[in-house]
C-alpha cells in the first residue's frame, strides 16, 4: 500500500512565477490536509479538503494561494506570483473517512514534502 505521494520533491521558481504542488493521498483516503513549514519552525495548517470540497481554509493566505482536490486526480496546492517569503517545505497529509476503513480515522499520514525555493 503506497504512502502519500508528493511531487515534485524540490521546486525552484523565480519571483512572480506560479508554483503547483501535487499530493496523491493513500488509497482509500478521502481527506487531504496541507501544511507549511518555514525554516526552523513547526508545521502550520493551511487547508483541509475532501473530494471536491474545501472544509477548512482558515490557514490559507487570502491572496495568491488556492487548493483543490478534484473527484479524479491528486490534490493541488497552487501559489501564484511567488515571493521569497513563500520559500518553505509544504507537506500534504491524508486520512480515511471519519468512520474509517483504511487505518485509524484520527491519524494523518504525511507525505515526504515539497521544498519550494523562490529565487
Q: Give residues in contact with other proteins (CB under 8 A).
A: 31, 33, 35, 41-45, 48, 55-56, 58-59, 89, 91, 93, 95, 98, 106-108, 110, 112-113, 115
Beta strands in the chain, from DSSP E residues, in sequence order: 5-7, 10-13, 19-24, 31-37, 43-50, 53-56, 65-68, 75-79, 88-95, 109-110, 114-118
The β-bridge partners of 8 are none
Query: Measured between alpha carbons, how far is 29 from 97 in angstroms, rounded to an integer?
Result: 7
> Min. distance of Cβ 16 from other proteins in angstroms?
27
> Min. distance of Cβ 27 from other proteins in angstroms?
18
Q: Which is nearer to other proteins, 17 or 102 (CB)?
A: 102
> Min. distance of Cβ 54 from other proteins in angstroms?
10
Q: Which is nearer to other proteins, 44 or 78 (CB)?
A: 44
Amino acid at each position: 500500500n503506497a504512502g502519500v505521494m508528493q511531487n515534485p520533491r524540490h521546486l525552484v521558481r523565480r519571483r512572480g512565477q506560479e508554483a503547483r504542488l501535487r499530493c496523491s493521498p493513500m488509497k482509500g483516503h478521502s481527506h487531504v490536509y496541507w501544511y507549511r513549514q518555514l525554516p526552523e519552525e513547526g508545521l502550520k495548517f493551511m487547508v483541509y479538503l475532501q473530494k471536491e470540497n474545501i472544509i477548512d481554509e482558515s490557514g490559507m493566505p487570502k491572496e495568491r494561494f488556492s487548493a483543490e482536490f478534484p473527484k479524479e486526480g491528486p490534490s493541488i496546492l497552487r501559489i501564484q506570483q511567488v515571493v521569497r517569503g513563500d520559500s518553505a517545505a509544504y507537506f500534504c497529509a491524508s486520512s480515511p473517512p471519519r468512520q474509517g476503513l483504511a487505518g485509524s480515522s484520527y491519524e494523518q499520514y504525511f507525505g515526504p514534502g515539497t521544498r519550494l525555493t523562490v529565487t
